[in-house]
Amino acid sequence: MGVVQTAAGLRASFEARRACWGAKPGALRWQPPPPARGDRAAGRRLVNGLLLFDGALHELEDDASPWEITPPGARWSDILHGHGWIDDLACLSDGHSRRLMARWVHQWIGLYGQGVGPGWAPQLAARRLVRWVAHATDLLNGASEAQSHAFFRALSAHARYLDRLWRQAPAGIARIETVAGMLFGRVSLEGGLAPGPGVVELGRSAAAIVDPDGGIESRNPQDLLGLIEILDWSAEIVRAAGLEPDPRHISALSRMRPALAALVHANGHLARFHGARASEAGAVATALGAPSDRTRAHLGALGYARMAAGEATVIVDTAPPPRGRGLRHASALAFELTSGPAPVIVNAGSGLGFGEDRAVEGASTLSHSTVSLRGESHPVRGPGQRPVRVAGTVTRESDGLWLMGESRAWVPAYGLVHERRLHLDPAGTALGGEDTFVASAQAERARLNEMLPPGLASRWFEARFVIHPDADVRPALNGRAALIVLPGGGRWMLRTDASEVVVRPGQYHDPARVHPRATKLIVVTGEILEYWGRITWSLEQLP
């Protein structure tokens, strides 16, 4: 996101210097709380000189400056220059963390406060402005007169810069975050402009990216959470200016909250699909608002199906991979299972930040709890780059909840349709599953025979179950089952009609760690005979 040598990047660099040349210090007239809560664990790492951003760790010597580091990548640099780490240090509430926070900010202003260097992209400038204003009291505590003067001058420069460049931010969440930062500067700084077109732009942008069901194009639950936080907070900015948010702004929020609720597991955390990483339960609860503000969590939000009973939740990916550029996850009909506070079946999660190989691996079918044919990842686009067809519906019967899902992701390559049938009992203590591969149409059978001639030994497929790394997994019943022991002592048994259950090593991508965490996979293998193959399995909570 940092400024690059494109026409837009060159203009951003020019406007940054121009905004700084004419900036004059001005006082604050409004200091709201920050829009996001900090992470205490991340704050403690920073105090100890450990900068862990985007999976890459740098260790600072005592009194060293983070601005001396050569960033390992653009995402790492954006996190550092966006100053979101201020929230992490602020939540420690001790003098050392506050002094460290202030020192790093004043160092940044001294190095880059004239509109030079990395970080002068509209979205990053908006993030800095918001954090500096929200934490201004701590940042100025003990500051010299020269530092205070430079700080307020830099605030004024950021506000001027955003006033000129907010329209240049990419459409979508980046535009909304930038406009919110621009409004924040206009409302919080003395001498700032009236909110003006930003109020309407927030409504227009929200209406453009939030669909009628409250979903967004990326299908990333964490993106949805972040968008709700930005729109909630920006609505308060508008009201602080004595205005009312655009009706489209409020309408988008009312649609997104039920969609978010449908993606929350029993432990309060979000499902980790399509790039979603960690989510803090408190942040999720805040974004959902009061119970009276939420409608019933509907099935099918963002293309996911949710089954909940007792203390168990099951969330299934029942839609095609999202459109757009970048790495897309091949997770058709993958599911996650959470039992009370403990995740049981998970996805490996996004590998971004752990290297290019890990990023590709984390997006593959093999990193999700679904089926794989011949150990391959299913394509995310069909012929002519058309989306692969994936669908699923949930029905409630007297004996519990049933999901019927179908994926045609394997049809272009192998002519095989994957059907997944799940059943969650009313008590939430048993999840039954049936995975079928079938080639019904003549063209599909011809394709299968072309790729896998009849009788070929490799006509096999796997149902894979990624286990959360906090759980312990061991073979049971002479290799016909696997026992999963949760941290709190709860136990789940996976049984199957297959001849063997195999426990293999796996990896789990935790953004709070420098390296992926070791975990286990349970793998059940089936065969395709006469254009058809099936595996049945069950996960049962033991007393």
Q: What is the 3-state secondary structure (H, E, C) of 68-81?
A: HCCCCCHHHHHHHH
**Identity of residue 126:** A
- For tokens 């909630």, name the residue: 232
* pLDDT value of position 283: 85
Which residues are CB-contacts of 305 (< 8 A; sequence separation ≥ 6)? 299, 315, 316, 318, 392, 393, 394, 403, 405
Instruction: Tell me how far CA of residue 217 lies from CA of 221, 263, 270, in angstroms.
Output: 11, 15, 17
* pLDDT value of position 5: 52
List phi, psi (to 5°) of 108.
-60, -45
Q: Where are the beta strands (DSSP E) in 408-516?
A: 417-424, 430-438, 460-467, 472-476, 481-485, 491-496, 501-508
Contact 541, 524 (CB under 8 A): no
**How far is residue 295's CA from residue 300's CA, in Å, rounded to a whole number?**
14
List phi, psi (to 5°) of 270.
-80, 155
User: When comparing pLDDT for 22 and 83, which is higher?
Assistant: 83
- pLDDT per residue over 402-430, tens digit each? 999 999 999 999 999 999 999 999 999 99
Say which range, 14-18, 301-305, 319-323, 349-353, has the weakest mean pLDDT: 14-18
* pLDDT value of position 295: 41
Specify which residues 43 forms β-bridges with. none
* pLDDT value of position 294: 47
**How far is residue 390's CA from residue 520's CA, in Å, rounded to a whole number?**
27
Q: What is the 8-class DSSP label of residue 303?
A: G
Q: Which two tokens stand for residue 306?
A: 């949710």
* pLDDT value of position 25: 79
**How far is residue 511's CA from residue 278's CA, in Å, rounded to a whole number?**
7
- For tokens 């993030």, name the residue: 127
Answer positive or negative: Cα dihedral of 352, 109, 157, 3: negative
| C-alpha triplet 515, 333, 395: angle, nearest 5° | 135
Which residues are CB-contacts of 267 (< 8 A; sequence separation ≥ 6)? 281, 338, 340, 341, 342, 343
Instruction: Tell me how far CA of residue 543 lies from CA of 429, 489, 532, in angstroms.
Output: 10, 10, 36
**HSE-CB for 260 with a 13 A CA cutoff:** 29
Specify which residues 56 forms β-bridges with. 53
Mean pLDDT of 483-494: 96
**HSE-CB for 418 with a 13 A CA cutoff:** 30
Can you spell out the DSSP letters for 341-390? TEEEEE-----TTS-HHHHHHHHSGGGSSSEEETT-PPPSB-GGGPBPPE
Per-residue confidence band for 293, with pLDDT thresholds at 50, 70 and 90: very low
- Tell me the whole-structure pTM to 2 decimals: 0.91
Decide if pLDDT at 288 tops 70. yes
Decide if pLDDT at 12 tops 80. no
Which residues are CB-contacts of 29 (< 8 A; sequence separation ≥ 6)? 188, 189, 190
* pLDDT value of position 7: 57
- For residue 286, the SS3 value is helix
* pLDDT value of position 408: 96
Which residues are CB-contacts of 409 (< 8 A; sequence separation ≥ 6)? 330, 332, 378, 379, 380, 388, 389, 390, 418
Mean pLDDT of 253-257: 94
Contact 273, 249 (CB under 8 A): no
- Return the exposure string of 32-52: e unless at least 16 CB atoms fall within 10 Å of the residue's CB, then b: eebbbbbbeebbebbbeeebb
- For tokens 């996190």, name the residue: 79
Distance, first Cα to last Cα, the chain: 51
* pLDDT value of position 483: 97
Work out whether strand 342-346 and strand 335-339 pair parallel, antiparallel, or are unpaired.
antiparallel
- pLDDT per residue over 123-166, tens digit each? 999 999 999 999 999 999 999 999 999 999 999 999 989 988 88
**How far is residue 379's CA from residue 397's CA, in Å, rounded to a whole number?**
34
- pLDDT per residue over 492-535, tens digit each? 999 998 878 999 999 999 988 889 999 999 999 999 988 999 99
* pLDDT value of position 372: 95
**Identity of residue 22:** G
Per-residue confidence band for 33, with pLDDT thresholds at 50, 70 and 90: confident
Can you spell out the DSSP letters for 11-29? HHHHHHHHHHHT-----BS
**How far is residue 231's CA from residue 260's CA, in Å, rounded to a whole number?**
14
* pLDDT value of position 300: 58
Q: Which two tokens stand for residue 366?
A: 């093999």
**How far is residue 445's CA from residue 449's CA, in Å, rounded to a whole number?**
6
Per DSSP, helices labelled H in 305-397 are: 356-363
**How far is residue 188's CA from residue 170's CA, in Å, rounded to a whole number?**
24
List phi, psi (to 5°) of 531.
70, 20
- For residue 476, the SS3 value is strand
Instruction: Tell me how far CA of residue 194 lies from CA of 15, 181, 242, in angstroms.
Output: 21, 14, 11
